[in-house]
Amino acid sequence: MTSLSLWSKCRPFVSFISMQGHRPALLSSGPYSTRKDCYSRQMSSMSESKPKTGIMMMNLGGPENQEEVHDFLLRLFLDKDLIPLPAQNHLAPVIAKRRTPRIQAQYAKIGGGSPIKRWTTLQGEGMVQILDKISPESAPHKFYIGFRYANPLTEDTIERMVQDGVQHAIAFTQYPQYSCSTTGSSLNAIFRHYNQKGNPGNMVWSVIDRWPTHHGLVRAFADNIRSEIKKFPEEDQDDVVILFSAHSLPMKVVNRGDPYPTEVAATVSRVVEDLGHSHAYRLVWQSRVGPLPWLSPQTDEAIKGLVNRGRKNILLVPIAFTSDHIETLFEIDHEYIEELGSEVGAKNIRRASSLNNNPIFIEALADIVKQHIDSRVGCTPQLALRCPMCVNITCGQAKDFFKNQQDQLDAFYRVSSERISTKARN
């Protein structure tokens, strides 16, 4: 088991242990039931400029420096929907203060802070440059970063999008595989913001909630794997075992119907197919904590087992992450490769590069958004479906919120098409 605890590390899946947390229903109708004819009048009263598309790139986030670690932890432990605690307002500050030095030490080993904002910025910049070229009808496009516990926070980003005059807001998860505890958590945050602030007004929302088998994602992973295998000694390259490592998930969450394991497996299957089934592989799961059953086999246990059976050339592939952060740079690189690999006697153990600013991946991001815009679908049937055994009330409310955006989205596209036709005639 990794030496990093769920509580001290504050991983993206911290909410897995708390999905029985409940929040009372606040709104079931009202400002979210805006009629499409009303929206059409609002849109018609706007300027005749091209529709502005704002793309919120959603993720957990991470502290950029040592000074931000405490606030990052405090926000996480204050979130009752993710981590229900007794006397939460009193206990959360105590936990955050106690954990801060340990987390700061871990970040110090990877350069002092999380690089996730830097990578997301580079990805977003490249994505919108491509979108302005391939989707002029929805231009200009602007990317925004919406983190759950680090700046820029999701709620602040929503307000910034409103101030910028964004007309079509796209909630674009940066988790290729959907889970209620990652993408679902970010969507819940958007819902809560409007639950407190009221009607979204002229800005209409749609959601890109998953993309586990997109051809660009698959190709980027496969190319990185091919490149890394070539760095093994030539005589060992055919013997390399590929371990696709994804963040684990408690079985109690899986048993509620969370689609995450299936979607991660779908990504792995497509990548292996792209590789031509050239190497033996397994899907493994990292970051398990606590005594409850989690998805298995665990990454560290798989490494030990393979080496003990004579397979000492191992390539780790972070298949559920789209950029480097503490899980890749500390847990995989430091704990698994440097420490565990040496401990068990692995001959060659390496990690495939993260997607980061891979141009194929950035093109994939743009293509995903382009396909979404062209579909004119605000909320997919898969997103609208609650897990069969879901116990999170807010989850259902958030799904209803995004489903109810479709009428406004239809009106938005109708008005946009009319503007384009008018300009073409003139």
Using one digit for the tens of pLDDT, what is the confidence trace for 171-226?
A: 999 999 999 989 999 999 999 999 998 877 789 999 999 999 999 999 999 999 99
Tokens describing residue 185: 């958590």
Using one digit for the tens of pLDDT, what is the confidence trace for 284-333?
A: 999 886 688 999 999 999 999 999 999 999 999 999 999 999 999 999 99
Residues in the chain with pLDDT < 50?
Answer: 1-51
What's the pLDDT at 80? 64
Q: Report helix, strand or coil for 376.
A: coil
Provide φ and ψ at 177, rounded to 5°: -105, 130
Rounded distance between C-alpha atoms, residue 394 and residue 24, angstroms: 8
Using one digit for the tens of pLDDT, what is the confidence trace for 220-243?
A: 999 999 999 999 999 999 999 999
What's the pLDDT at 86? 83
What's the pLDDT at 287? 87
Helix (H) / strand (E) containing 171: strand 168-173
| Beta carbons within 8 Å of 154's beta carbon, 6+ residues apart | 56, 58, 146, 147, 148, 186, 189, 190, 193
Rounded distance between C-alpha atoms, residue 329 and residue 131, angstroms: 31
140: preceding bond cis by omega (within 30 degrees):
yes
Give the active site residues. Answer: 214, 367
What's the pLDDT at 84? 58
Provide the residue count of the chain: 426
What's the pLDDT at 426? 65
